[in-house]
Amino acid sequence: MTAQNKPGPIIVGTGAVPFRRYKDGSHWRDWVRTAGREALRDAALTPSKIDSLVVANESDFTSLQVNPGPVIADELGMSGVATVRVEAGGGSGGAALRTAFAQIMSGMAKRVLVLGFEASASHLSAKDLQLIYSLSFDADVDGMAGATAVNLYALSISMHMMALGTTSAQMAAVSVKNHANAKLNPNAHKPMDLTIDDVLMSPSISTPYRRLDCSLLSDGAAAIVLAHPDHAPASDRLRSQITGSGAATDHARLGDRAAPHVFDAKVRAARDAYAMAGISDAGQQIQVAEVYDAFSGAELQGLEALGLAKAGLAGPAMIDGAYNADGPLPVNLSGGLIGQGGAPGAVGIMQAVNMDRILTGRSSMTDRDFHCGIIDAHGGICTSNAVHVLERVGS
């Protein structure tokens, strides 16, 4: 069954504001206006043709706006539209895509604008943001006790290293790859040429993670217009379709999990997304992936959870170049959170923007021909996860 014969919304327009640390006096309202208008223009739709606005934003503390939906609707000239805000930590954008998917496939809406943003780099200190992010776990047990995201991710990957033999050099290879990939992404925050030794000699943050193993705090916005296949504006260009969507959660406290080094929520979310899309062998059918890499080791854990590598083998494959831009399964051509940047509310939507452009031949990041890809975003230590399969519509 080809993509256009499968159920699922069509991506008809995309827009983005580069992930950066904005010190130019601009405001998140400027970013959402720019990204939203670009997506509408790309879709050849006026605001009046949008039935629903789904907004992704991780934290009110960074935006200082408790109810951003109506504000964004005003900024885009679509006051009166149905709107909802979706929040799932770093997976907010992925959860917003799933919400829009459900609205369209249930018949509640014909066309939905999904818009994610975050002002997580420009007006709060790194220490304050670390505190906010620590409340993404069990705030009473973890956050108030001083546990931070990097501490918990470090514990998880340390167990992975002990159980499966993953090494620091294998994780460093993720950082080298993703910073290099970012050089071809005009929306990326930190394109860099690095070596594995550069990563291994960068300052220690929380063993085994070093500074260059960590993703970036970024500002930014991304937008995407989804339409039911029967209500997509006519176009001569190639398009992509979301053919599979899955979501799952895990225990909020890492210590409550049977295997803290395994991203079980991602395993289950991917299983459901593959089943919906008719993917029977992910390793053979998925050709390109955008994987949530809050830390370098999380990309390896994610690849295994998504069924794109067997347990313990993502690291060796990373060293061998299997996930490089010219490898058999390119991963994070955008640079991921490590190279492109991490604006939590926008990440999952930016993944969809990037994947749509890759599949339809409109991306500067590759000239390779792909027709099936996967995107995944999660909040917490893969505590809440959303996975989506995208396929090119047409030949």
* Per-residue pLDDT reduced to its tens digit, 233-253: 988 899 999 999 999 999 999
- Please state the rounded mean pLDDT for residues 311-330: 98
CA dist., res. 139 & res. 158, Å (int): 23
Express as a percent the part of the chain with pLDDT over 90.
86
At 383 the pLDDT is 96
> What local confidence, expressed as pLDDT, does residue 103 receive?
98
- State how far Cα 193 lies from the chain centre: 23
The whole-chain average pLDDT of the chain stands at 95
pLDDT at 324: 98
Which residues are CB-neighbours of 64 under 8 A, at least 6 positions away?
none
Q: What is the pLDDT of residues 175-185, one digit of tens each?
A: 999 999 999 99
Task: Examine the pLDDT at 198 and tell me if it is beyond 90.
Answer: yes
Q: Give 138 or 48, the one with higher predicted confidence.
A: 48
What is the pLDDT, as a whole number, of residue 272?
A: 98
Note the pLDDT of residue 2.
Answer: 60
More confident call, 3 vs 100: 100
Other CB atoms within 10 A of residue 259 CB: 12
For 16-30, 127-141, 249-263, 274-288, which range has the lowest pLDDT when averaged over its residues?
127-141
Helix (H) / strand (E) element for 84: namely strand 82-86
Q: Which of 59-63, 253-257, 359-363 has the lowest mean pLDDT?
A: 59-63
Averaged pLDDT for residues 165-189: 98
Cα 269 to chain centroid distance, Å, stands at: 14
Q: Quick check: 49 pLDDT over 80?
A: yes
- Identity of residue 243: T
Task: Provide the whole-model pTM.
Answer: 0.96
- The kind and range of the H/E element at 224 are strand 219-227
Please name the amino acid found at residue 156.
S
pLDDT tens track for 328-375: 999 999 999 999 999 999 999 999 999 999 999 999 999 999 999 999
Q: What's the Rg (C-alpha) of the chain?
A: 19
DSSP string covering 5-64: GS-SPEEEEEEEEEEE---SS--HHHHHHHHHHHHHHHHT--GGG--EEEEE-S-HHHH-
pLDDT surpasses 60 at 72? yes
386: phi then psi, degrees, rounded to nearest 5 = -135, 130
Q: pLDDT for 103-137, tens place per residue?
A: 999 999 999 999 999 998 877 777 787 777 777 78
- 142 has a pLDDT exceeding 50: yes
Give the three-class secondary structure for 232: coil
Q: Which phi and psi (to 5°) does residue 253 adopt?
A: -95, 125
Specify the pLDDT at position 226: 98
The helix (run of H) or strand (run of E) holding residue 179 is helix 168-181
pLDDT at 395: 60
Q: Which CA distances in Å does 312 have to 261, 300, 303, 380? A: 11, 9, 10, 22
- Residue 1: predicted pLDDT: 46
Average pLDDT over residues 263-267: 98
Residue 282: per-residue pLDDT:
97
d(C-alpha 92, C-alpha 322), whole Å: 29
Domains belonging to the chain, first-starting first, are 3-124+218-231 (3.40.47.10), 126-215+238-393 (3.40.47.10)
As a whole number, mean pLDDT of residues 258-280 equals 98
Q: What is the pLDDT of residue 4?
A: 62
